[in-house]
Amino acid sequence: MGTDTIERATDTVGAGLEARWRDILAVHARTMCEIDRVLHPHGLGASDFEVLDLLVADSPEDGAPCRVQNLAGRVHLSQSALSRLIGRLEKDGLVTRSMCVEDRRGVWVTLTDKGRALHAEVLPLQRAALARMLDD
């Protein structure tokens, strides 16, 4: 295969991948906007809900704390953005924060009863938005 043929094949594959990537980004953006729209009347955004949802998943019954560091890799936010988001959730009484005794740099986040109740209230709205946006 000549260099020109390989370059044309690479360009064709690259163009297809680029188009697929842009489609993924467009679906993500539309879905996040729809989730933001349906949760806004409840004082939450998509990222707020994602943190509450992860906390519920990590401690479905007992309200065990979760390290912020464990959330950071799962919510696709920078460390500082996640810290600000948790601060807002704490101010609203949805979570509490505490220092990790073993590692003073670590911070624990615990879902409050109010946070658990709000999550349960808006969960059907978020799941319905996902279904509308992602079902073919």
Give the β-pairing of 66-67 and 107-111: antiparallel
- The 10s digit of each residue's pLDDT in 92-101 is 999 999 887 7
In the chain, the number of structural domains is 1
Query: Domain span at residue 129?
Result: 3-134
Do residues 46 and 36 make contact, with C-beta atoms less than 8 angstroms apart? yes
Give pLDDT, residue 70. Answer: 84
Give the three-state DSSP class for 123: helix
- The 10s digit of each residue's pLDDT in 42-70 is 999 999 999 999 999 987 667 788 888 88
Q: What is the CATH number of the domain that holds 100?
A: 1.10.10.10
Give pLDDT, residue 38. Answer: 98
Q: How far apart are CA 34 and CA 18, in angstroms?
A: 24
Neighbours of 17 (CB within 10 A): 10
Per-residue DSSP letters for 10-55?
HHHHHHHHHHHHHHHHHHHHHHHHHHHHHHGGGT--HHHHHHHHHH
